[in-house]
Amino acid sequence: MKVTVTVNGAEVAAEVEDRMLLVHYLREVAGLTATNIGCDTTSCGACTILLDGESVKSCTVLTAQADGHQVVTAEGLASPDGEMHPVQRAFRAEHGLQCGFCTPGMVLAAVSLLRENPHPTEQDVRSGLEGNLCRCTGYHNIVRAVLAAAGETAAQQTAVGEAAQ
Amino acid sequence: MSILGTRVVRTEDPRLLTAGGTYTDDLRLPELAGAGRITFVRSPMAHARITGIDTSAARKAPGVIAVLTASDLDDVPSAGDNPTAEPLLAAGRVRYVGEAVAIVVTEDSYQGEDAAELVSVDYEPLPAVVTIGDALAGSTLLFDGTGSNLAAAGGDPAPDDAFSGCDVVIERRIVNQRLAPVPLEVRAAAARWADGRLTLWVSTQNAQLARGALAGSLGLPEAAIRVIAPDVGGGFGAKIAAERDSIAVAWAAKRLSRPLRWVETRNENLMGMVHGRAQQHIIKIGGTRDGRIRAYHLDLVQDCGAYPRFGPFLATLTKLMASGVYDIGYAGATFRAVVTTTTPVSAYRGAGRPEATAAIERAVDLFAAEIGMDPVEVRRRNVVPPDAFPYTTQSGAVYDSGDYAAALDKVLAAAGYAGLRAEQARRRERGDPAQLGIGVSCYVEITAGDAPLGETSRLVVDATGAATVYTGSSAHGQGHQTAFAMLVSDELGIPMDRITVIHGDTDAVPKGVGTYASRSLQLGGSAVHQAAVEVKDKARDLAAGMIEASEADLEFDVSRGAWQVRGDPETALTLAAIAERAGPDGLVADVDFRPDSPTFPFGAHVAVVEVDTETGKATLIRHVTVDDAGKVLNPVLAEGQRHGGIAQGVAQALLEEMLYDADGNPLTATLADYSAITATELPSFELIGMETPTTVNPLGVKGIGEAGTIGAAPAVQSAVIDAVAHLGVRHIDMPATPVRVWTAIRECYSEPTSEPGPSDPGERSVQMAPAGPSRVSE
Amino acid sequence: MIPAPFTYQRASSIEEALEMAAEHGEDAKFLAGGHSLLPLMKLRLAQPEVLIDLGPLRDLSYIRDGGDHIAIGALTRHHDLQHSDVLAEAVPLLAHASGQVGDPQIRHRGTIGGSLAHSDPASDLPATILALDATLVARGPSGTRQIAAADFFQGLFETALEPDELLTEIRVPKPAAAGWSFQKFTKRAIDWAIVGVAVQGGSVALVNMAQTPVRAAAVERALVGGASAGEAAAHAAEGTSPADDINATSAYRQHLARVLVTRALQEAAARG
């Protein structure tokens, strides 16, 4: 069937098998390989992307279901001038990645988490990332990174709020 | 000021974060354009003869290019007379569920799954040999002509009088359970045969060793093989060199004269990637009531899985490190390694040393409980004292440096040990349903165990002043790009962003060993450091000629990266300028760093768990560690390695186990069933710093990569048992899952039987009369 | 990893969905969030020839106060139930249980209708709506019918729905008794419950203690008879048939049921 998915702001149209998984569409058709596959039981979260702004495991979505919808992958998080997203910056600052394989999915899960809960506790972050496995970091620095990103956003909002007064 | 020892964020990260790494299945190279896709057909039987393979239906399926079986393997060297040789594709017999039987090659991967289902294999079942007990019983042998399932054995039993003079002797059977390494990136490979040369891209920790494995398996000269490790998404020992499925991909590409690529599913990974640990232990410990341990013997059986591979070597490592941090009158180990109809077992983070540590730490705790002494105090009274180094163990390990008592004291202070015991006492007195458990472990481990194999580094400084490091080390998350650049920058004053580190391509780095055994900083880093020193020295020699001064009059200004006449900056010549004079290759140094010996990091962990005694569920609420691996080059990287190691140790203690049923079918072959640890089961860790340098290498560093895992599992296991010890529980095997903890508690209240002693036969505790040992037989 | 080939059809209305279902019968499955069905299809444990995607039916996603009940569209996502102010006020048990399903990513896609129609006794929502005595509304070619939760779950992955019927709404009566509790016992937070308990007032339902969610009828009778939480909970395993598996023995599950029912009743009492 013919599908059109908007990926990182650009329309990607193709003729695909009905059974094509969204994660393969992103990797093979859209040519964006940051989104990774780490399991076959919707367990690991390495394939997490934003679908219409919310974190979703793209291995468990048919491309057909994403037809006409918006997807953001890790490649689409940075600003147009190449500046890293605050969550990406925080992951680097806090050493929240080692081999990097879980990282695109982890970062997008964190982005979605912070959108829904801008001021998470450590426990909120750990629960919020229960669907994302990491084998390298022990999660310690990932949690620090997400909390740091939340703090940075809070600080920015405070600054904006103060500036507006 | 030196950059060494400072916190430097990784240079690897911007690319990994914004574009994602390029892992083997991400490659979109022109050389792989039009590559066919490989799907393996794997055995659903643990043990069977293959009586027929019908590929006719598969060959007619859409997109199928070829279907290959063992009968097509007529162009590779035979196994010769090695009875336990492992084929690339099972020939006539399968020995574990998941063993590769056939290769289906299709245009795309979706077609591959469809076509693989159409390959029809006839199996004649043979009895499965699932447990170590089955293997030792030997009624079914995996390999004809071997006489038994014993792959290796060694060590000497304890001398007859080893345990005499002990007030107390305890003997117990314990298990160090089978684990799955679960790197997030599964196995993947891509291969191309062109112009008489094979190129294999593969998710490996050792490109050069992989090349050697390919050469041997395919009967090719190494010069005809190029191995490239793209970004690798975790290895943990399970991606050492190249294993049979990746080699089979290379063979098929050559066979079909077509580029091919392969990536497995996680289900295949949990059956087809090597497993770890899988040892059974009989620990025997004896000592006197003053807390002194007099004798310790570990008898272990290593389950190798279906093919011996690395299994026997793991057993020798466990034997080598059996006595741990302790100075004991007699300490020894015996081992056997057996084959079973299960996934082969190989190195997994710690590789033989977690097993040794878990065994002796359990033994020490049992001894402490028996004599009624605080297990911390028992440790204090028995660790090797700080003035005893270098310390040679009875197994022949030479511990280079260490201060085990200091590590223990530091971690206890940081944990607030006395306060924890007080809280535990309060909860016990109140009979709270949620009880506190405190577990303490002391460990020492061996890193760069293959030190004499060394590691290579080539360093090139070019006429622009940029530096390129070609290292035999092979990072898969460890941050060598940053660490090695720090070493060069520190020595030569070249800015970090002008230093490139290249690894993992046998054309660019023809000689090297790679990354495992926590060897990379001490061997690879020392090689880089030495290469930088040599470059600096070569530059000085050239500069002397260029400035017309004698070498002795020159000084190196690292802040400018330049040689100058001492005190005369006007004469300064930058490395770039000197490199231009050095010739078209610039300034070059080639180092093969081979120290005499491995190093022995050490530490102590404190784990605090809360056990819900009504359900048996244990929650880790604090984990405090001292992990001393000598000088710390970059605390950011060292902490990251400790965190990751700790998490895997906790996972072994509480959650993970690869399980098989009685027919040899894996029961935990998906990530829904295999309980890989997530963020919600872990607290943030408390890491305490301690640096006891080594003199084995010029950097004074040891290996940190596996230490966290080795220290963590016994501490957490101990904590869970400690939480319910007051209810009578003496031991719980790892993983201490809720049902196991609950069962252990329940057994303390079970109806008395006609036989005395604990209901589980794992332990025998023999009380010795002071006048002399009289053994009570059971 | 890859489902067997199938034909994808997208329904633009409930009527069209029903027509497609009628046309294909047992060869077709409805696709809602897909987070129960697609994982099975990827392992090739389910191989429907036709998938009827209900995704466009946005008007089946709603949470409405219907006076004496809350009406929930079958395609309402777990995430929306978890964060619904209406539900937090009126039926907090369901809001909370919805927040226990899977992980955040799964909750962004999975729907209550999909979960209930899948009828996995280890899932959180079937037992929850059983405890709430909800009514399930199904539409088929011959019209609409209402099915009591007690009649809906008929076996492992089996419901009272006919192949040509679509679950459209779940009606949850506003609870008379305010006390509620949801106890989900797992090894890891992301796991299915080893055993779970949903309590609303004097209604007690069990997760993963049988081939379907079950009401702990003996517990409920004891409570009516004036038993304390602990006394009533002693009956928790009666009438159940919990499995032995890699996570737990049957005996352990029975024990857990007793412990969790005790805790659930105590927590519900504290809330009520």
- Chain A contacts in chain B segment 528-557 (CB below 8 A): none
Judged by CB atoms closer than 8 Å, whether chains meet at B670 and A93 is answered as no
CA–CA min distance C42, chain A (Å): 7
CA C174 – CA C180 distance, rounded (Å): 12
Nearest to A131 among C4, C5, C105 (CB): C105
Using alpha carbons, list the distances in angstroms from residue C60 to C10, C77, C112, C130, C189. Answer: 15, 10, 11, 21, 30
Same domain, A151 and A93: yes
Judged by CB atoms closer than 8 Å, whether chains meet at A97 and B183 is answered as no
The predicted model gives B382-402 an average pLDDT of 98
> What's the domain range around A10?
2-76
Let me know if residue A154 belongs to a domain. Answer: yes
The predicted model gives B646-666 an average pLDDT of 98
Q: Look at residue B308 and give its three-state secondary structure.
A: coil
* Phi-psi label, residue B772: left if phi above 0, alpha if psi -120 to 50, beta otherwise: left
Helical segments of B343-397, H only: 353-371, 375-382
Look up the CATH number of domain B451-593.
3.30.365.10
Nearest CA to C65 among C180, C175, C171? C171
pLDDT of residue B762: 52
- Please say whether the structural domain C7-53 has been given the CATH code 3.30.43.10: yes
Q: Which residues of A are less than 8 Å from B18 in CB distance?
A: 74-75, 77-78, 82, 84, 88
Q: Which residues of B are less than 8 Å from C252 in CB distance?
A: 738-739, 742-743
Same domain, A141 and A107: yes
Judged by CB atoms closer than 8 Å, whether chains meet at A133 and B184 is answered as yes
Q: Looking at the complex, does the CB of residue C103 fall below 8 Å from at least one CB of chain A?
A: yes
What's the fold here for domain B25-126+188-263?
Answer: Aldehyde Oxidoreductase; domain 3 (3.90.1170)
CA B562 – CA B580 distance, rounded (Å): 13
Judged by CB atoms closer than 8 Å, whether chains meet at C185 and B673 is answered as no
Q: List phi, psi (to 5°) of A152.
A: -65, -40
Same domain, A6 and A70: yes
Query: Which secondary-structure segment (H or E) carries B171?
Result: strand B168-179
One-letter amino acid identity for B553?
D
Judged by CB atoms closer than 8 Å, whether chains meet at C247 and B617 is answered as no
What's the fold here for domain B276-447+598-748?
Answer: Aldehyde Oxidoreductase; domain 4 (3.30.365)
Judged by CB atoms closer than 8 Å, whether chains meet at A33 and B12 is answered as no
ipTM surpasses 0.90: yes
Judged by CB atoms closer than 8 Å, whether chains meet at C187 and B675 is answered as yes
Nearest CA to B5 among B690, B635, B698? B635
* Phi-psi label, residue B586: left if phi above 0, alpha if psi -120 to 50, beta otherwise: left
What stretch(es) of chain B map to CATH 3.30.365.10? 276-447+598-748, 451-593
Given a cut of 60, whether residue B412 has pLDDT beyond it is yes
The predicted model gives A123-132 an average pLDDT of 98
Judged by CB atoms closer than 8 Å, whether chains meet at A40 and B110 is answered as no
pLDDT of residue B190: 98
The predicted model gives A87-109 an average pLDDT of 98
Burial class (CB in 10 A: 0-12, 13-18, 19+), B431: exposed
One-letter amino acid identity for B546?
M
CA–CA min distance A165, chain C (Å): 32
Nearest to B17 among A91, A122, A125 (CB): A91
Neighbouring chains of A at 3+ CB pairs within 8 Å? Answer: B, C
Same domain, A95 and A30: no
Burial class (CB in 10 A: 0-12, 13-18, 19+), A165: exposed
The predicted model gives C185-191 an average pLDDT of 97
Nearest to C6 among A18, A40, A54 (CB): A18
Last residue of a domain, one of A24, A58, A76: A76
Judged by CB atoms closer than 8 Å, whether chains meet at A54 and C34 is answered as no
CATH class held by domain C58-173: alpha beta
Let me know if residue A81 belongs to a domain. Answer: no
CA B68 – CA B105 distance, rounded (Å): 8
pLDDT band of residue B773 (cuts 50, 70, 90) is very low
Judged by CB atoms closer than 8 Å, whether chains meet at A60 and C42 is answered as yes
Neighbouring chains of B at 3+ CB pairs within 8 Å? Answer: A, C
For C180-271, CATH number out of 3.40.50.2300, 3.40.50.1820, 3.40.309.10, 3.30.390.50 equals 3.30.390.50
Q: Look at residue C14 and give its three-state secondary structure.
A: helix
Q: Looking at the complex, does the CB of residue B615 fall below 8 Å from at least one CB of chain C?
A: yes
One-letter amino acid identity for C152?
F
Last residue of a domain, one of A20, A51, A76: A76
For B77-107, give one letter per residue: b (16+ CB within 10 A) or e: eeeeeeebebbbbbeebbbbbbbbbbbbbbe
Strand-pairing partners, residue A136, are none
CA–CA min distance C66, chain A (Å): 28
pLDDT band of residue A80 (cuts 50, 70, 90) is confident
Task: Report how many domains make up chain A.
Answer: 2
Burial class (CB in 10 A: 0-12, 13-18, 19+), C45: exposed
The pLDDT tens digits of the residues spanning B92-106 come to 999 999 999 999 999
Largest CA distance in chain B: 96
> Which of B674, B739, B747 is most worth mutating to test chain C (most C CB atoms within 10 A of its CB)?
B739
Nearest CA to B298 among B360, B227, B215, B221? B360
DSSP letter for B40, please. Answer: E
CA B113 – CA B109 distance, rounded (Å): 7
The pLDDT tens digits of the residues spanning B486-537 come to 999 999 999 999 999 999 999 999 999 999 999 999 999 999 999 999 999 9
Given a cut of 80, whether residue C177 has pLDDT beyond it is yes
Judged by CB atoms closer than 8 Å, whether chains meet at C8 and A19 is answered as yes
Q: Looking at the complex, does the CB of residue A99 fall below 8 Å from at least one CB of chain C?
A: no
What is the pTM (predicted TM-score) of this model?
Answer: 0.96
Same domain, A63 and A114: no
Nearest CA to C156 among C208, C207, C211? C211
Nearest CA to A48 among B507, C106, C30? C106
- Domain holding A34: CATH number? 3.10.20.30
Let me know if residue A120 belongs to a domain. Answer: yes
The predicted model gives B287-293 an average pLDDT of 98
CA B493 – CA B495 distance, rounded (Å): 6
Last residue of a domain, one of A29, A58, A76: A76
- The answer to whether B33 touches B94, Cβ cutoff 8 Å, is no
Two tokens, residue B272: 């087809």
Nearest to A139 among B110, B183, B679 (CB): B679
Taking CA–CA distances from A133, the nearest residue in chain C reads: C190
- The answer to whether B44 touches B280, Cβ cutoff 8 Å, is no
pLDDT band of residue A82 (cuts 50, 70, 90) is confident
Q: Which residues of A are less than 8 Å from B19 in CB distance?
A: 34, 74-75
Nearest to B18 among A36, A88, A130 (CB): A88
Q: Look at residue B457 and give its three-state secondary structure.
A: strand
Judged by CB atoms closer than 8 Å, whether chains meet at C53 and A65 is answered as yes
The predicted model gives B15-43 an average pLDDT of 98
pLDDT of residue B761: 41
Instruction: Give ∠ CA C174-C203-C222 in degrees, rounded to 5.
Output: 145
The pLDDT tens digits of the residues spanning B366-381 come to 999 999 999 999 999 9
- Domain holding A137: CATH number? 1.10.150.120
CA C12 – CA C27 distance, rounded (Å): 20
Q: Looking at the complex, does the CB of residue C241 fall below 8 Å from at least one CB of chain B?
A: no
Same domain, A123 and A146: yes
Query: Which secondary-structure segment (H or E) carries A23?
Result: helix A22-24
Same domain, A96 and A38: no
Taking CA–CA distances from C191, the nearest residue in chain B reads: B672
Q: Which residues of A are less than 8 Å from B670 in CB distance?
A: 39-41, 43
CA A133 – CA A126 distance, rounded (Å): 11
Taking CA–CA distances from B20, the nearest residue in chain A reads: A34
CB pairs under 8 A between A and B: 182
Tally the C-alpha atoms within 13 A of residue B300's C-alpha that lie toward its C-beta: 38
Two tokens, residue B512: 């090297």
Nearest to B614 among C188, C189, C259 (CB): C259
pLDDT of residue A152: 81
Nearest CA to B448 among B323, B629, B302? B629
pLDDT band of residue A164 (cuts 50, 70, 90) is low
CA–CA min distance A93, chain B (Å): 6
Nearest to C188 among B113, B614, B681 (CB): B681
pLDDT of residue A162: 65
Q: Which residue has the tokens 């290895």?
A: B235
Judged by CB atoms closer than 8 Å, whether chains meet at C106 and A57 is answered as yes
CA–CA min distance C4, chain A (Å): 8
CA–CA min distance B675, chain C (Å): 7
What stretch(es) of chain B map to CATH 3.90.1170.50? 25-126+188-263
The pLDDT tens digits of the residues spanning B556-574 come to 999 999 999 999 999 999 9
pLDDT of residue B738: 98
Mean pLDDT of chain B: 95
CA B135 – CA B660 distance, rounded (Å): 14
Judged by CB atoms closer than 8 Å, whether chains meet at B477 and A98 is answered as yes
